Structure 1
Amino acid sequence: MAIKSDISETRLPADIVRTLRAGIGKVSAEVIEEIQTRIPEYARPTDEIYIKVVKKAVEEAIDGFLDRIENPCAPWDPEPFRMIGKGEAAEGRNLEPLQAAMRLGARVSWRRLTEIANPLGLTPQSLYDLGEAIFVYLDQLADAAAEGFDEARAHASGEIERRRNRLLDLLLSRPPAAPEAIADLAKAAGWRLPRTVAGVALDDQHGTYRAPALPPDVLGGLERPAPCLLVPDPDGPGQAQLLDHALRGRRAAIGPAVPLAAAATSLRWAREALELSRRGVLPSGLLRCADHMAALVVFKDEELVGSLAEVRLAPLAHLRPAQQDRLAETLLAWLRHGRGAAEVAARLHVHPQTVRYRLRQLEELYGDQLTDPDIRFELEIVLRARQALIAARP
């Protein structure tokens, strides 16, 4: 049996409509009682204001239905029911309780209106049309409420997103924003203040970055010129696995865990690591700055490291490039892994006698410099930088 798309086809004599309207009070009272008894979300016997709101909504629905029966061509204003939908969203509920209340109200109304109309001698067809009109009207009320609900949810979601974006701005500002301002905005954005955070720099060199599926407590700056994230308590249980899953297959760098006030510093380190990854100095994929701190320190000021390299690698400068590479590699292994030729040979996969020969060459070139701990430290810095740059060459 098809339901009519509009109730304008249902016409009842004016005196019958007046009789039905006279019984609205009792019908409304029964509908309200049924709703509050059978739907827990609306059972608030001590909340007088809420009871008045429910009563007004029920009366408006029934009265509006009779208005449309009496004058089918009159324009209908769905705004009151859109506001009801908005109210449900503001209460934090979904639409199920409201839809259940509407269906229950329609059944009770149909039962009582037919009891009122029966003594008036309505034909079976008129009664059928009345029932059909009630349920068509119910659909229209539900559509209006859903529209208001969706609009309110979208507005709330957009407002929360704006607050989170503003919060991210404050957290990444230099100098840091006042803790009170951050705390107030975090509360408004529904974001719990963590003990530590880590900035995440995301690669979007080609403008094709797709947003990852992020945990809800991660603040996202994906629309920024340099996309980034801010991860709360990055060393907390399961956080590393969540990030690995969300960022799998992407080039990204996770900064060190820092106090909230130093969020911008963590992101700065992450961006520097990401740039080194782009150049090939650090591996591609997902990087953690904590695993590459030495490289980040070394490449913090490449000009300074370059100047130091000119001084400390000067004894090798007159050699052919291949000789420089072999001796530099041997010297770095010797500085890193101990002074035994056998151990250095094992690291370099060459014969120990070859290592001894190279070490004698280095002693001749550097002399007493290799006994000075400060010079050895500086040599290791510049040799590590040299090795990383060689590895990054195409």
Structure 2
Amino acid sequence: MATKEHVRTAVRGLGGRRARSHDTSDQRLWRSTPAEVARRLRPGLSLVAEQVIDEITLRIPEYSRPADTLYVKAVRLAVDEALRQFVDRIENPSMPLEADVFRTIGRGEANEGRNLDPLQTALRLGARVAWRGLTEQAEPLGITPQQLYDLGEAIFVYLDQIADAAAEGYDEARAQVAGEMERRRHRLLNLLLSRPAASPDAVADLAKAAGWRLPRTVAGVALDEQCGGYRPPSLPPDVLAGLDRPNPCLIVPDPNGPGQAQTLEAGLRGWKAAIGPAVPLEAAATSLRWAREALELGRRGVLGDGRNLIRCSEHMATLVVFKDEELVEALAEVRLAPLAHLRPSQQDRLAETLLAWLRHGRGAGEVAARLHVHPQTVRYRLRQLEELYGDQLSDPDVRFELEIVLRARQATTGFGAA
């Protein structure tokens, strides 16, 4: 006959570990108990269920909700199902676990916003109560100590199977929620980039549904789709990503906030990208358009100086100049016509000197310092320019137009860094 000491020894041996038996070994555990025991246990299952529920609601605050009748029913259904299948398995050891109800429990835990710790605690408590009930009835049921030990181990194998099924349901629910949130974030990104701009109310509603805090400003980031072989960007969760769009992009909230520049730089390591200027939320599409223009200029070598991340805020004048290149080229033909008859090397030297003169002042010494040449050389070049342009260099409008076309020429040909 089983004694309480036998039971305590068995519990110490089984508690705190998860069985890893193969199916055949599991069935051996169940077969060691006579099927008659199942028939004798069934009339008392209701009482055991009450004891299990009392223990769970007393010791686990998450499940102590007596006023919630639907929740109480759900707990009772879970306990009743667990006990029923346990007894059925004693009677028919080859019967597989009917896992759907336990997957549903796992999904419920995820929907409640909890992790699986309370459920695992509840399973252990339930197993302990069921084990205690078995030990108390072992003698009248005619269960030997070895059968009781095997049955106790079977409880923990069964507990493992229930926990695995609940974990599957939990993971499914979390993945479903994550997938739905990701879809909402994609819709939000599309809404922010729509033209004409979406209404503030529509943006606010979708942002709330997507769990995205509305920022004061945003910046669009254009990513080079040719960098698809690189690892995905590693960015904070508040960055909206459109990596699967024909032209991959990001929307970065509050791009000028503390640490944002460094975070973005680190997250985009390995990618070629351009970040547009910070703009109000309704102008997100405009910021992204500028970023795409900057990225294209970066591909051509006009912007970036070889850096992988181009910041539009550092190149606004160049972006303006290259907004209509045909117009700039037409202007250049007019304003650089006095240089057209010179050799290319002469054109470059005089263009470089003229741009430095326009940008940094009209003193030969300052221009010479910028160009790293002798002041006498600068004076000679400036006399040449005066002969070529005459009174035009005294006209502020002409000087402005000359600076535009010379900046564009410098960006595309790299004739010098004045």
Q: TM range, normalised to the smaller chain?
A: over 0.9
The alignment status of 1:235 with 2:256, answered yes or no, reads: yes
Letter in 2 for 1:387: Q
CA distance in 1, matches of 2:22, 2:139: 25
SS, match of residue 23 in structure 1: helix
Match of 2:329 among 288, 306, 320: 306
SS, match of residue 153 in structure 1: helix
Match of 1:372 in 2: 395
Alignment of 1:157-236 (within 5 A): 157-205=178-226, 207-236=228-257
- Give me the TM-score of the superposition, normalised by structure 1: 0.95
Percentage of matched positions with identical amino acids: 74
Letter in 2 for 1:325: D
CA distance in 1, matches of 2:358, 2:401: 11
CA distance in 2, matches of 1:221, 1:369: 50
SS, match of residue 201 in structure 1: strand
Match of 1:272 among 269, 284, 293: 293
Consecutive unaligned residues in structure 2, runs of 5 or more? 1-12, 14-18
CA distance in 1, matches of 2:20, 2:249: 53
The alignment status of 1:8 with 2:27, answered yes or no, reads: yes
Moved more, 133-142 or 12-21: 12-21
The alignment status of 1:328 with 2:347, answered yes or no, reads: no
- Give me the TM-score of the superposition, normalised by structure 2: 0.89
Contact 1:199 1:230 in 2 (8 A): yes
Letter in 2 for 1:200: V
CA distance in 1, matches of 2:315, 2:231: 26
SS, match of residue 256 in structure 2: coil
- Deviation for aligned residue 1:287: 1.2
- The 1:319–1:4 alpha-carbon spacing in structure 2 relative to 1, beyond 3 Å, is closer
- Deviation for aligned residue 1:359: 0.9
SS, match of residue 348 in structure 2: helix
Match of 2:378 in 1: 355
What's the RMSD between the two structures over aligned residues? Answer: 1.9
Contact 1:281 1:389 in 2 (8 A): yes
User: Cα deviations across residues 182-235 of structure 1 (Å, max 9, x unaligned)?
Assistant: 222212211112121100011232542421111000001112222111101111
Aligned residues: 393
Match of 1:107 among 128, 133, 149: 128
The alignment status of 1:71 with 2:92, answered yes or no, reads: yes
Match of 1:261 in 2: 282
Letter in 1 for 2:363: G
Moved more, 155-164 or 381-390: 155-164
Contact 1:4 1:132 in 2 (8 A): no
- Deviation for aligned residue 1:75: 4.6
Match of 2:317 among 289, 294, 300: 294
SS, match of residue 274 in structure 2: strand
User: Cα deviations across residues 226-249 of structure 1 (Å, max 9, x unaligned)?
Assistant: 211110111122211211211134
Match of 1:37 among 58, 66, 70: 58
- Deviation for aligned residue 1:40: 2.8
Match of 1:155 among 171, 176, 181: 176
Match of 1:338 in 2: 361
User: Cα deviations across residues 345-376 of structure 1 (Å, max 9, x unaligned)?
Assistant: 11111111111111111111111111111111
CA distance in 1, matches of 2:228, 2:352: 39
- Deviation for aligned residue 1:377: 0.6
Match of 2:75 in 1: 54
SS, match of residue 324 in structure 2: helix
- Deviation for aligned residue 1:3: 6.3
CA distance in 1, matches of 2:253, 2:21: 54
Moved more, 373-382 or 280-289: 280-289
- The 1:265–1:392 alpha-carbon spacing in structure 2 relative to 1, beyond 3 Å, is farther
- Deviation for aligned residue 1:51: 2.2
Contact 2:35 2:90 in 1 (8 A): no
CA distance in 2, matches of 1:335, 1:92: 65
Contact 1:221 1:228 in 2 (8 A): yes
Match of 2:342 in 1: 319
Match of 2:405 in 1: 382
